[in-house]
Amino acid sequence: MRKIIILVSVLLLGVASMSYLYFSKLGIENDAKDLALQSATNNAAILFSFQNDKAFYEIMAGQSLLQQAIGEEKTNLLKQLKESFINKKLINNFVQDQEIYISLLPDTNQTLNFLITVQIRSDQELINFQNKLQSIVKPVVKEKNIYTLQVNDSLNVFLGMQHQVLTVSTSLKLIKNAAIRLNDNPFTAYIKESRLLNKNILAQLYINFNQAPLLLKNIIAGSINGEMALFKTQNSFATLNYNFSKEKILFNGNTEIKSADNYLKLFEQIPVQSINIQNIIPDRTASYTIYAYDNYQSWQQKLARWQTLKNLTDKRNVLIKKVKTEYRTDLNAIFPLYLKNQFITFQLNTGEKLAAISLINGEKVKQLLFDVSEDYSEEIKHFKTADILFTYLGEPFKNFVKPYYVIIDNQFVIANNASTVQSFLNSYKNNKLLIQEPAYLDALNQLPNTSNIGFYINLKNAKNIFRSQLLLKYYQHLQADSGWKEFDSFYYQMSADQNKFITNMLLNKYIKPNPSDSASTR
């Protein structure tokens, strides 16, 4: 019996050892296959990937809107690189059918630049590839495994060749940075996991919001604050599949929020909602963010957990007690009962910021808030106590400390200045609303009418805001005929789906109907 036990133990040990060796070897092989991805994701906030095959290039040739969004300069650069690499059989033989990554990265002198990364086919040797290139490249002095290639009379590019990976860029800095591969890069791990679920996709866009600050520093004038401040701590990623179309630029996929204390986590695992609060905002709106949940009482439990993570629980309890003591007003008998299922923060083209909250019974809320408010005018009121709305709705109301407000048609509209509230009332009463604009309606018609979170920019109304925030060359691209001038709407829509958000990202260009077309159909 003892001999049998020893024999079985030896056999089990042998199987375990062989399994370990097999899976270790498999892991090493998988890591080798991901060298290009590791290089491409280093410091990248935006990564576009596609398979190097003829079908992709044929389809992309007709995507004029995407080329317009990228800009004439960068489009011409990509075309020239394609002519120099993909169209040359000597080079393309080594990377045929391989995944090509285009990373958008911050470069020197407040510029953004592309890094193109591709892995040489496993059946081709790097040394053989280097030998083939000897006649057309020159080594860079004092730089190991980096070469230059003259694309044309005015364009030289750098090539990095290391461990079966080819990197190409007009920036030496990006080539050198790409040689530093991080095995524990969360962005790399996220993309690898995402690719297992999204096979046979022709082109994908990956976004690493953790790297957004580095990108934004090269685009904006000044520091990252105000509306941009959310990118400082936005630990999240997105995988978006390119929806090939000649009429619009549309990506579909998902967004994953990683940090437990991220405010957007409060909207996970909530049924999508029919959104209508945007119908009240003025036609001068430059941007807005919409939030929607199913039921305030259940959502408030999520908010309470978020407040605990942010160490805000004591502040909340002190405020509620103070208001009850000083003004004989029980806030817990107002907001949990009368807040509906959606709210919105928005900014006008003047830079003025407002917010609106849907109510179940606006007239009742007016009465209940009487003692904690003071009159500015017959319609406009002012909170006497700070942070009431922040306590019951959280992060989006952080900067509305003691706002002025008006309650009209079951909508609770606030701003930090009474004149801003009055400006809203003038637009609302005169029906000067964004929902009346054909370009805005056209954008909404491209997307589902249910979601949980929506971020919208009216590119024409935001013109003056962009002028004050962006560096001149990026603002000029937004206003150029060959750039974003003809685009009118950007929308990033998120709908909860368990632990992630189904996402639609739209850059829309409204084309006015031709009157002669409608006349001919009569």
CA distance 386 to 318: 12
pTM for the predicted model, two decimal places: 0.88
Residue 14 has pLDDT above 50, yes or no: no
For 47, residues 6+ apart whose C-beta sits below 8 A from its C-beta are 40, 41, 101, 102, 103, 104, 187, 191, 205, 206, 207, 208
Closest C-alpha among 180, 168, 171, 161 to residue 116: 168
Average pLDDT on 486-501 reads: 94
DSSP 56-93: HHHHHTT-HHHHHHH-HHHHHHHHHHIIIIIT-HHHHH
Question: Which tokens is 488 given?
Answer: 């009118």
Q: How confident is the model at residue 497 (pLDDT cuts 50, 70, 90)?
A: very high
Residue 30 has pLDDT above 60, yes or no: no
**Residue 214, pLDDT score:** 84
Q: What is the mean pLDDT of the chain?
A: 86
**Residue 32, pLDDT score:** 52
Average pLDDT on 281-300 reads: 96
**Residue 200, pLDDT score:** 67
CA angle 261, 267, 272 (to 5 degrees): 170
| Segment 45-80, tens digit of pLDDT | 999 999 888 878 887 877 888 888 888 778 888 888
CA distance 184 to 247: 40
**Residues paired with residue 288 on neighbouring β-strands, in sequence order:** 346, 456
Q: How confident is the model at residue 517 (pLDDT cuts 50, 70, 90)?
A: low
| Segment 208-265, tens digit of pLDDT | 999 888 888 888 887 665 555 555 567 899 999 998 888 889 999 999 999 999 999 9
Q: How confident is the model at residue 492 (pLDDT cuts 50, 70, 90)?
A: very high
Distance (Å) of CA 90 to CA 58, 121, 132, 276, 403: 21, 13, 7, 57, 67
The terminus-to-terminus CA distance of the chain in angstroms comes to 95
**Residues paired with residue 518 on neighbouring β-strands, in sequence order:** none
Q: How confident is the model at residue 131 (pLDDT cuts 50, 70, 90)?
A: confident
| Segment 336-389, tens digit of pLDDT | 999 999 999 999 999 999 999 999 999 999 999 999 999 999 999 999 999 999
Contact 101/49 with Cβ under 8 angstroms? yes
Q: How confident is the model at residue 274 (pLDDT cuts 50, 70, 90)?
A: very high
For 157, residues 6+ apart whose C-beta sits below 8 A from its C-beta are 81, 84, 148, 149, 151, 168, 169, 170
Instruction: Give the least confident one: 8-12, 69-73, 180-184.
Output: 8-12
Q: What percent of the chain has pLDDT over 70?
A: 89
For helices 296-309 and 313-327, the axis angle rounded to 10 degrees is 120
Q: How confident is the model at residue 1 (pLDDT cuts 50, 70, 90)?
A: very low
**Residue 28, pLDDT score:** 37
- Taking residue 21's Cβ as centre, other Cβ atoms within 10 Å add up to 10
Contact 502/492 with Cβ under 8 angstroms? no
**Residue 18, pLDDT score:** 39
Residue 412 has pLDDT above 50, yes or no: yes
**Residue 360, pLDDT score:** 97
For 99-158, give the secondary structure using H, E and C: EEEEEEEECCCCCEEEEEEEECCCCCCHHHHHHHHCCCEEECCCCCCEEEEEEECCEEEE
Distance (Å) of CA 241 to CA 44, 383, 505: 18, 46, 10
| Segment 305-328, tens digit of pLDDT | 999 999 999 999 999 999 999 999
Residue 474 has pLDDT above 50, yes or no: yes
Average pLDDT on 386-394 reads: 98
Average pLDDT on 194-201 reads: 72
Closest C-alpha among 285, 401, 411 to residue 343: 411
The DSSP call for residue 445 is T
